[in-house]
């Protein structure tokens, strides 16, 4: 019984550590890309594709892209 409890605790701890690590990596990548997050959760950033700059707006309901 002790082994099962120890194994379950180790799994929960491992999942927590993995989630935390993944969240930190996502935050770092967004900072590198210059992603700005507004208080309402909308993300705004610029992307260059085929030499043309685009502004990308990500909302919970969709994605908007237009030339800069």
pLDDT tens for the chain, 68 residues long, are 788 888 888 888 888 888 777 777 777 777 777 787 888 888 888 888 999 999 999 888 889 999 98
CB atoms within 10 A of CB 54: 14
Pairing of the two strands 36-37 and 62-67: unpaired
pTM of the model: 0.55
C-alpha dist (Å) from residue 17 to 20, 42, 63: 5, 27, 31
């Amino acid at each position: 019984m002790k082994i099962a409890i120890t194994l379950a605790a180790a799994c929960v701890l491992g999942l927590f550590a993995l989630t935390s690590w993944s969240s930190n990596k996502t935050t770092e990548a967004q900072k590198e890309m210059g992603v700005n997050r507004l208080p309402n959760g909308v993300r705004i950033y610029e992307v260059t594709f085929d030499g043309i700059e685009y502004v990308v707006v990500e909302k919970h309901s969709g994605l908007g892209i237009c030339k800069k």
